[in-house]
């Protein structure tokens, strides 16, 4: 098993280096829905303490890569390590913020209950919820500016507020690595700012942030590093190194007009 | 007679049945909630219909081994085994083929039920089969229920309820957000299986009282009913248990008042009555309440628009608007604004202007999302902030003068 996976990697040499310490290292990750791979043999080494954007066109496998890294979908081949350990042993160090549209917001639950889900690994099946647990959940809500909404039914929230509640739930876990799936998709400006402030705080605390991101115009302002994907790994590095006109053209193909790339004013 | 039944005064057997039905309803309501919240309510229909072949085969087996074919424990075991096969068939069909779950449920349900009916006909021709009364498992019957049967049903219900409550956290997390649940180390596939297993256990336990055709009602209707009353999942579970228990209790008591009244249908009718009551009368999600809210909103919108028209000196023609303005003494019968009406209209216009100023202000523009056309600025801002806005509104004019 081990041997075949090593063979599947595209650049085995750099891949093996640094995988030990990396918050998230993917090797030869291949995922298929039905008969067609949507992610093919992708290697990724996330740098600790950095904010990384995963970018690529629609259907490029960005969300799928994240889900495979988290064990939500089972990869056809490849493996993920979190801080050098298999996923199952590192669950406490990793927090996930799914796409807002992935759940039914008419579900009978209130904002605080959603955030409390972030404490599941501490509470388990039967442990009693104590005031300190509630206090921690409230603290996380306050960090995203949602403390006044704790007892609202989640269906009454705006899209941006829902996104912030999901972020608060991830914060409640107290993890070291944060994986976010399109956290800025369809949110208002106030929410976008609130979220990016929290993410930058996390970074300053030495935490690692990886986000699937769709808005190329904010990549330089928000992120340190980029990971380009279009089914295959198309590039990885600091924003200055990897977020270049040539790399974007290669990743997006004809779908990204040259004018758009020029608008980003890249110093390529 | 009915009061006697409800007060458990109809004798030992009726009391036994009523208490058993209440325990079953309680467990079914609470357990069914998880299935309902997972949006897989129909699976319970496939499970219940799939019990029939196993039930009849268990009878045949027990008779051919020289035992009593009607031993409830043995029948339950057979029912559980074939329900499990049906459940596996549904999940295999959905996973291995591209068949949607509802199609798989339809196929499994009808095939298993058909097979069960054929086997039932075979049993009728056996010498021991004539008095078997296996048909009573279709719609439930409490005639001649033994103490041991009632105990089995009650204890089974309590055991299932205990398991459901113990697993409530992971089950609710999987129902709300399975992807996130997986990242918390919850094995989603296993929790789904647990939900199904609990539903299967309820079905088997409830066969005797409610019958396999109608047990689905006892699993789903209480949850749907409870949903009208609360927005918290924990409370939906508790309320559904309460509604289910009440339906079981009242239904069984009513069916005990006359011979040959089938228990299952009456239990279902009672739970439907609770559902209908909730559908119309529940605050919040009930039909009446939301209709009234809609009317109130409509009136507020008309009033506000009418006042704004008045403030701009435009005539108001709309019937409802005129009626409301007149009733408040803000408009005369001939359509002319009164003194009070002009004051109110001016206040409304000032509120609109404040909202506009708020949108233009750098510090307060985040609050612009609260502007829905009806909310007054005073509900969103403090007096100081409003004074600030007013200063801004006056500002340019003073400079101009």
Domain residue limits, chain B: 1-266, 289-394
Burial label for B258, CB within 10 Å (0-12, 13-18, 19+), is: exposed
Q: Residue A186's pLDDT is what? A: 84
CATH of the domain at A241: 3.40.50.300
Please give the average per-residue pLDDT across B200-219, as a whole number: 91
Using an 8 Å CB-CB cutoff, list chain B residues near A190: 366, 369
Q: And the tokens for B18?
A: 């009523």
Residue B339 has pLDDT above 60, yes or no: yes
Query: Which among A92, A48, A93, A96 has a CA at the least distance from the CA of A68?
Result: A96
pLDDT at A213 over 60: yes
For chain A, counts of helices (H) and of strands (E) = 12, 10
What pLDDT, on a 0 to 100 scale, did the predictor assign at position A9?
Answer: 45
Query: Bigger pLDDT: A209 or B263?
Result: A209
Same domain, A116 and A137: yes
Of A85-94, B198-207, B331-340, which gets the smallest average pLDDT? B331-340
Q: What dihedral do alpha carbons B53, B55, B56, B58 form, nearest 10°?
A: 120
CB pairs under 8 A between A and B: 75
Q: Is there a contact between B183 and A94 if contact means CB atoms under 8 Å apart?
A: yes
Q: Give the range of the structural domain holding residue A167, as residue numbers without chain letter.
A: 95-174
CATH code, B1-266: 1.10.3470.10
Same domain, A107 and A83: no
How far is the C-alpha of B266 from the C-alpha of B11, rounded, in Å?
20
Let me know if residue A44 belongs to a domain. Answer: yes
Q: What is the pLDDT of residues A190-199, one digit of tens each?
A: 889 999 999 9
Q: Which residues of A touch B227 (CB under 8 A)?
A: 108
Task: Test A107 with B175 for CB contact under 8 angstroms.
Answer: yes
Q: Both A89 and A100 in a single domain?
A: no
CB contacts of B173 in chain A (<8 Å) are 117, 120
Residue A104: list chain B partners with CB under 8 A. Answer: 39, 176
Subunit contact A103:B186, Cβ cutoff 8 A: no
> Do residue B184 and residue A70 have CB atoms under 8 angstroms apart?
no
Distance from CA of A250 to the nearest CA of B (A): 31
Comparing CB atoms, the residue among B169, B230, B369 nearest residue A108 is B230
- Closest chain A residue to the Cα of B229, Cα to Cα: A108
Provide the shortest C-alpha distance from residue A176 to chain B (in Å).
14
Cβ pair B369:A72 closer than 8 A: no
Same domain flag for A51 and A65: yes
Residue A200 falls within a domain, yes or no? no
Give the pLDDT score at A3: 39
pLDDT at B73 over 70: yes
Residue B35: the pLDDT is 95
Residue A132, burial from CB neighbour count under 10 angstroms (0-12, 13-18, 19+)? exposed
CB A96 within 8 A of CB B183: yes
A267, part of any domain: no
Please, which residues have CB within 8 angstroms of residue B131's CB and are 6 or more apart in sequence?
Answer: none
Q: Which residues of A touch B (CB under 8 A)?
A: 67, 70-72, 88, 91, 94-96, 98, 102-104, 107-110, 113-114, 117, 120-121, 123-126, 153, 155, 158, 169, 188, 190
- Chain B positions touching A70 (Cβ under 8 A) are 179, 182-183
A26 and A1 inside one domain: yes
The residue of A86, A89, A108, A109 whose CB has the most chain B CBs within 10 angstroms, and thus the best one to mutate to test that interface, is A108
Q: Which residues of B116-139 are buried (b: 16+ CB within 10 A; e: fewer)?
A: beebbeebeeeeebeebebebbbb
One domain for residues A86 and A2: yes
Q: Per residue in A133-191, pLDDT tens?
A: 999 999 999 999 999 999 999 999 988 999 999 999 999 999 999 999 999 988 888 88
In the prediction, which pLDDT does A260 show? 67
Contact A117 B173 (CB under 8 A): yes
* Spatial distance between the Cα atoms of B86 and B81, rounded to a whole number of angstroms: 9
Q: Are residues A53 and A112 in the same domain?
A: no
Q: Which DSSP string corresponds to B25-46?
A: HHHHHHHHHHHHHTT-TTHHHH
Confidence of residue B63 (pLDDT cuts 50, 70, 90): confident
* A122 lies in the same domain as A46: no
Q: Complex ipTM above 0.90?
A: no
Whether A42 is covered by a domain: the verdict is yes
Low-confidence winner among A239-243, B127-131, B287-291, B357-361 (lowest mean pLDDT): B127-131
Q: What is the DSSP string of A34-67?
A: TTEEEEEEEEEEEPTT-EEEEE--TTSSHHHHHH
Cβ atoms < 10 Å from Cβ of B108: 25
Last residue of a domain, one of A174, A200, A231: A174
Q: Are residues A75 and A99 in the same domain?
A: no
Are A71 and B369 a contacting pair at CB < 8 A? no
Min Cα separation A125/chain B (Å): 6
Residue pair B71/B40 in contact by the 8 Å Cβ criterion: no
- Would you state the pLDDT for residue B183? 94
Q: Do B179 and A72 touch (CB under 8 A)?
A: yes
Cβ partners under 8 Å of residue A94, min gap 6:
A24, A70, A82, A87, A175, A176, A177, A179, B183
Asked if the structure places residue A192 within a domain, the reply is no
A62 shares its domain with A137: no
Cα A144 → chain centroid = 17
**What is the predicted pLDDT for the residue at B55?**
94
Q: Are residues A68 and A83 in the same domain?
A: yes
SS3 letters across A61-126:
CHHHHHHHHHCCCCCCEEEEEECCEEHHHCHHHEEEECCHHHCCCCCCCEHHHHHHHHHHHHHCCC
A152: in domain: yes
- The total number of structural domains that make up chain A: 2
Q: Does A14 lie in the same domain as A73?
A: yes
Residue A161 has what pLDDT? Answer: 93
Query: Long-range pairs for B332-339 at CB < 8 Å and ≥24 separation?
Result: B337/B310
Return the structure tokens found at A232: 């295959």
Structural domain ending residue among the three candidates A174, A199, A223: A174
Rounded to an integer, what distance in angstroms lies between the CA atom of residue B211 and that of residue B215?
A: 6
- Considering only CB atoms, which chain B residues are within 8 Å of A188? 369
């Amino acid at each position: 098993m081990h041997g075949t996976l090593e063979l599947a990697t595209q650049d085995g040499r750099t891949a093996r280096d640094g995988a030990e310490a990396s918050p998230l290292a993917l090797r030869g990750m291949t995922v298929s829905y039905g008969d067609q791979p949507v992610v093919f043999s992708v290697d990724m080494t996330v740098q600790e303490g950095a904010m990384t954007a995963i970018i690529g066109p629609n259907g490029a496998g960005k969300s799928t890569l994240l889900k495979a890294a988290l064990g939500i979908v089972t990869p056809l081949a490849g493996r993920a390590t979190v801080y050098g350990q298999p996923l199952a042993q590192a669950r406490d160090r990793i927090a996930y913020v799914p796409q807002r549209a992935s759940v039914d917001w008419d579900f009978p639950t209130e904002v605080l209950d959603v955030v409390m889900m972030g404490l599941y690994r501490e509470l388990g099946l039967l442990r009693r919820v104590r005031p300190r647990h509630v206090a921690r959940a409230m603290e996380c809500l306050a960090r995203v500016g949602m403390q006044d909404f704790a007892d609202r039914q989640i269906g009454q929230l705006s899209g941006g507020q829902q996104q912030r509640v999901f972020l608060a739930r991830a914060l409640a876990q107290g993890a070291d690595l944060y994986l976010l799936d399109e956290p800025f998709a369809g949110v208002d400006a106030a929410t976008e700012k609130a979220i990016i402030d929290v993410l930058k705080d996390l970074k300053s605390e030495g935490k690692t942030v990886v986000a699937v991101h769709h808005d190329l115009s904010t990549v330089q302002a928000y992120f340190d590093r980029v990971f380009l994907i279009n089914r295959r790994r198309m590039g990885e590095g600091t924003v200055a190194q990897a977020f270049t006109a040539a790399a974007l053209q290669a990743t997006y193909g004809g779908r990204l007009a040259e004018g758009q790339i020029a608008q980003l004013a890249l110093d390529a | 007679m009915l009061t006697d039944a409800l007060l458990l005064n109809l004798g030992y057997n009726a009391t036994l049945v009523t208490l058993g039905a209440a325990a079953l309803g309680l467990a079914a309501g609470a357990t069914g909630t998880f299935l309902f919240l997972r949006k897989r309510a129909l699976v319970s229909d496939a499970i219940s219909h799939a019990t029939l072949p196993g039930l009849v085969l268990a009878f045949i087996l027990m008779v051919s081994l020289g035992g009593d074919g009607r031993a409830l424990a043995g029948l339950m075991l057979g029912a559980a085994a074939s329900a499990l096969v049906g459940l596996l068939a549904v999940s295999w069909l959905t996973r291995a083929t591209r068949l949607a779950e509802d199609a798989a449920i339809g196929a499994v349900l009808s095939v298993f039920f058909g097979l069960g009916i054929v086997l039932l006909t075979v049993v009728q021709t056996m010498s021991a089969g004539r008095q078997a009364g296996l048909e009573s498992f279709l719609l439930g019957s409490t005639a001649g229920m033994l103490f041991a049967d009632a105990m089995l049903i009650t204890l089974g219900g309590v055991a299932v309820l205990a398991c459901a409550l113990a697993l409530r956290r992971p089950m609710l997390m999987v129902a709300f957000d399975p992807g996130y649940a997986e990242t918390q180390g919850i094995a989603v596939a296993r929790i789904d299986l647990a939900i199904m297993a609990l539903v299967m256990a309820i079905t088997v336990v409830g066969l005797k009282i409610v019958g396999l055709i109608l047990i689905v009602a006892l699993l789903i209707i209480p949850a749907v009913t409870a949903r009208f009353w609360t927005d918290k999942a924990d409370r939906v579970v508790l309320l559904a248990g309460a509604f289910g228990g009440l339906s079981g209790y009242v239904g069984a008591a009513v069916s005990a008042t006359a011979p040959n009244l089938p228990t299952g249908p009456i239990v279902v009718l009672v739970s439907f009555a609770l559902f209908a009551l909730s559908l119309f009368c529940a605050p919040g999600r009930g039909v009446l309440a939301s209709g009234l809210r809609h009317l109130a909103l409509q009136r507020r919108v008309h009033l506000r628009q009418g006042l704004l028209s008045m403030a701009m000196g435009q005539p108001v023609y709309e019937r409802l608007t005129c009626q409301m303005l007149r009733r408040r003494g803000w408009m005369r019968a001939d359509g002319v604004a009164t003194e009070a009406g002009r004051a109110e209209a001016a206040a409304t216009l000032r509120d609109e202007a404040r909202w506009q100023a708020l949108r233009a202000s750098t510090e307060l523009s985040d609050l612009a999302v609260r502007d829905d056309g009806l909310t007054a600025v005073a509900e969103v801002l403090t007096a100081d902030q409003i004074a600030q806005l007013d200063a801004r509104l006056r500002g340019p004019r003073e400079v101009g003068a």
